[in-house]
Structure 1
């Protein structure tokens, strides 16, 4: 039911802030792993479970948000999730061991998983049907801001404060969001309250989904670190993912009251929009993952610098999204923006791949602007496209599937980037080393220069010669990693090029007011 005035403003601020808060926590820890591992006496590899635990819990809960909203009531479920997320954030910031931190990060992911889909549903409900494209534009800002703010905020905290603040910063926002939800978010309608009495809890379906999605997320998150299918655990969890997801799909298609109505996927438009949403997740999370690693590891920038390097894209996206939402509201076909969005991501990948060892952060300004425009042009139209052509009562299932697909696309993007960069590093290093010949005048000249510099620093000739070869090896390693990361940006361009045919499966009709009014009437 649409609301007006001050209440609508509060709902907009609350839901978008909650979505941003959830998405920030998917990436804010990335730049703090070294500090956390040092403080808790663990290895970086073990500490990375702090990221993995949150992602696994998140991706399990997201597709179930529609079901839990029906079971507990949407407002209650949203409020409980904010409270759980806030309590878990406090416990993470006060964790005394790595194990307790990982456990509370999982709990935090359970609470955070509801904040995307439920925020979107509450926000859409606060607007009249003809104004929902604008609501999609505002919600899209949260989707873009979260992954971008995460590394930036994390970098500032790591460089100037201590890692617990990464989690403690959620507490005041969580408290305010809970109070505002309690006061301003509308209670469930009588129809929604009546529907709660007939909700069937499919425990077996929940188990199948948790096993399937959880195992898949683990494989994507940890596959590269565990050497993929050379590791028995990865093989077993891949089998578990196939079994769990296969069993879940079969059960949802045969049970009387499914957790998620997978029959909504009969909609060609939903399938096409979800494929493109997956590609968007791949490009957005993959690029946000690879950029900070490149500029810190290879170009020597601080975590704060790396975070601020992402800001131009976020600013452009924030500026574009309300404009896109307004033009969609006025009837412009979303297909035009989808085309522009794919082109911009292709340009983002290509221009980023032209960097060299002398590239400053200003070099990446234009590529980041392309990423911001591309994200805005894809996020807002695809949010709208996902709900066109499906029965209004199935909107929660459609929204939950879309958000899950975006998260899986992001996990897939990070996993692929990790693996692809590792393989390309080996290829580039092999190629560079093969061109290093002892008789090469250029190589001898370079080694002589290294030895001369070391001699000036007081090293004896024997040590200087040995160390010069070490310096040469580090130069080769640095150049190999640079080329491999640049190949990662090229892969993003290729991924979006391959997705172009999918765009033409989207419905090209204008989002007229009559259609949206019909959706609204039937959904209430």
Structure 2
């Protein structure tokens, strides 16, 4: 990042830097909001488009993967074509695709538009940081990044509740259409207020003179690998993996071939789209894995808590969003506290402590049953909200330790890619665990539901008497009783399967504790670039 007007209160172009900060924060708020706003609306989306809940989950994972793909290219494209131009193109694509998502007529069309939305959104966050750095003198940048940080933190808090309210009271389509007017206003203000700094213009001219080209081959290999891997993870369970499905075999081959070709290409290329050599470092490689696992837990819980509360506890989408609200508020508070602690406590200890707190929250969720209350879910999310900022802020600080200045852009992109890819993989993993464990528990419970079993006969008799007392005749009463037992069986299977999901996510989180212990000590008190 370059510093634009170092000694003046004016930003490049002579505009007020705080006006620029507000516009940048507004655009970033809109993009971050879309990582969570659709999570509580998945039930409405699956119903409206006549697809299953597991297929509707693609709405979340496709956005995250597309977002990650753009992140790896955003730094070079911004330098080559100008930050203002690339930022405006990103916002324009995000806004247009958001409107198209709102008018989607099928799951396939929604996923195409959602991918375009992710491609547009992926370039916004890192560019926002660069524009803020150019617009403010060094002594004012902390305040500017604080405003930017508020937008990043508050958006995921508001997203589930807003998405739930819109779905319940208007339509799930408005979870996407709401971005239309906000995006258009942002575009107009950007065109008027934002200008590239002289340093950024010089860098662009230098790249053109040197003939530095974008690593298109590397980009396509990475994009093919991430996209194919996500298809395999999301569709594997439904398609019986690689047994009889041509689709799975094709994408399985694409995943392997693109990965095998990607590694030597990126390692040998002079200016690769992704610098994989960073992952050789014990410090950065460990931070990458930490962020991968953290993204998995964050996104999976944001989706699966509203999912179980709507399907098995009768919550509306609004109420399911409100379940996540207290945890989001606690995340804001925790970030402020951890921001102060990070100047005195080594990142490794904060990451380990945060992982332990989040793991405790996941363990708490394994105690769900038919009488679980709103406050139980809210408190479990509060525990997660306390621990996650300890990991997010600390891993950002730790990841830059020992890196050269020219490596920071690549490091920032890779850390953000880890969060997004981890999130999409976490949702896919949780969906697969839910499906497999549902089958397992179903088969075990069915063994005990035997007409010859005295316990079953007694339960059937009591249920039959209950329905007889409520107006059903003999055969009808027994039929209702049998259906009721089947419903109770299915509900119990679901509880146990969700418990298994939370156990798996808890174990993933616990793995971060020993991983944090191998991180090096860092110099405290420095300012690391913000992670989105």
Does TM-score exceed 0.5, indicating one fold? yes
1:163-196 Cα distance to aligned partner (Å, 9 max, x none): 3211121123223333444455551424422343
- Please give the per-residue CA displacement for 1:69-104, whole angstroms capped at 9, x wherever unaligned: 222122321221012111222233234565544433
Distance 1:256 1:509, change over 3 A: closer
Structure 1's 56 and 339: CA in aligned 2 closer, same or farther, altered over 3 A?
Answer: closer
Q: Distance in 2 between matches of 1:136 and 1:373?
A: 22
CA distance in 2, matches of 1:8, 1:120: 13
**Preserved contact between residue 87 and residue 123 of structure 2 (Cα < 8 Å):** yes
Q: Indicate the residue corresponding to 2:13 in structure 1.
A: none
Partner of 1:482: 495
Alignment of 1:153-164 (within 5 A): 153-164=162-173
Q: C-alpha separation between the residues in 1 aligned to 2:448 and 2:501? A: 23
Tell me how far apart the structure 1 counterparts of residues 278 and 232 of structure 2 sit (CA, whole Å).
27
Match of 1:443 in 2: 456
Distance 1:72 1:265 in 2: 28
Equivalent residue in structure 2 for 1:313, among 314, 327, 341: 327
In structure 2, the residue matched to 1:389 is 402
Name the CA distance, whole Å, in 2 between partners of 1:129 and 1:289: 39
The residue matched to 1:459 in structure 2 has which SS? Answer: coil
Contact 1:137 1:321 in 2 (8 A): no
- State yes or no: 1:260 paired with 2:274: yes
What is the alpha-carbon distance in structure 2 between the residues aligned to residue 133 and residue 274 of structure 1?
25
Tell me which moved more, 252-261 or 427-436: 427-436
Q: Which residue of 2 aligns with 1:412?
A: 425
Partner of 2:309: 295
Distance of aligned partners of 1:263 and 1:235 in 2 relative to their CA distance in 1, 3 Å threshold: same
Question: Per the alignment, in what secondary structure is the counterpart of residue 228 of structure 1?
Answer: coil
* Residue 169 in structure 1 maps to residue 209 in structure 2: no
Say whether 1:502 aligns with 2:511. no
Distance in 2 of aligned mates of 1:306 and 1:378:
25
Aligned partners of 2:403, 2:125: CA distance in 1, in Å?
20
Question: 2:122 and 2:273 mapped to 1: Cα distance?
Answer: 16
Distance 2:46 2:377 in 1: 30
Q: 2:341 aligns with which of 318, 327, 338?
A: 327
**Alpha carbons of 1:339 and 1:216: their partners in 2 closer, same or farther (altered >3 Å)?**
same
* 2:35 matches 1:26: yes
Counterparts of 1:270 and 1:263, CA distance in 2? 10
1:122 Cα deviation from its structure 2 partner:
4.0
Matched with 2:387 is 374
1:82 aligns with 2:82: no
Contact 1:220 1:411 in 2 (8 A): no
Instruction: Give the aligned partner of residue 93 of structure 1.
Output: 102
**Aligned equivalents of 1:437 and 1:46: distance in 2?**
33
Determine if the alignment matches structure 1 residue 429 to structure 2 residue 442.
Answer: yes
Alpha-carbon spacing, 1:333–1:99, altered in 2? closer, same or farther (3 Å): closer
The answer to whether the 8 Å contact 1:133/1:380 transfers is no
Question: What secondary structure does 1:26 align onto?
Answer: coil
1:246 maps onto 2:255 in alignment: no
Number of equivalenced pairs? 516
| Distance 1:462-1:116 versus aligned 2 partners, 3 A rule | same
- Root mean square deviation of aligned Cα: 3.1
Check the 8 A contact 1:70/1:195 in 2, yes or no: no
Give runs of aligned pairs for residues 180-191 of structure 1, distance below 5 A: 180-185=189-194, 187-188=196-197, 189=199, 190-191=201-202
- How far did residue 26 of structure 1 move? 3.3
Structure 2: distance between partners of 1:128 and 1:242: 47
2: CA distance, partners of 1:135 / 1:506: 30
Alignment partners' CA distance in 2, 1:123 and 1:374: 28
Give the aligned partner of residue 351 of structure 2: 338
Q: Which moved more, 1:174-183 or 1:486-495?
A: 174-183
Which residue number in structure 2 is paired with residue 196 of structure 1? 207
- Residue 67 of structure 1 is matched in structure 2 by 76
Determine the structure 1 residue equivalent to 2:481: 468
Q: Give ranges in structure 1 of 5+ residues lacking alignment.
A: none
Q: Deviations over 1:4-25 (max 9, x none)?
A: 8795544554444434422332
Deviation at 1:462, TM superposition (A): 1.7
Q: Secondary structure of 1:229's partner? A: coil
Partners of 2:221 and 2:261 within 8 A in 1? yes
Change (3 A) 1:492 1:52: closer
Cα deviations across residues 346-369 of structure 1 (Å, max 9, x unaligned)? 111111111211011111222111
Q: Any conservation in 1 of the 2:81–2:204 contact (CA below 8 Å)?
A: no
Work out the CA distance in 1 between the residues paired with 2:185 and 2:489: 52
* Cα distance in 1 for residues equivalent to 2:475 and 2:310: 33
2:254 is the alignment partner of 1:236: no
Q: C-alpha separation between the residues in 2 aligned to 1:465 and 1:201?
A: 70
Q: With structure 1 as the length reference, what TM-score do the two structures score?
A: 0.88
Question: 1:134 Cα deviation (Å)?
Answer: 8.2
Cα distance in 1 for residues equivalent to 2:103 and 2:337: 42
C-alpha contact (below 8 Å) 1:134/1:326 kept by paired residues: no
The answer as to whether partners of 1:54 and 1:105 remain within 8 angstroms in 2 is yes
Alpha-carbon distance in structure 1 between the residues aligned to 2:494 and 2:23: 42
2:152 matches 1:152? no
Deviations 1:397-428 (CA, angstroms, capped at 9, x unpaired): 11111111111111111111111112222222
Q: Which residue of 2 aligns with 1:213?
A: 226
2:117 corresponding residue in structure 1:
108
2:292–2:418 CA contact under 8 A, matched in 1: yes
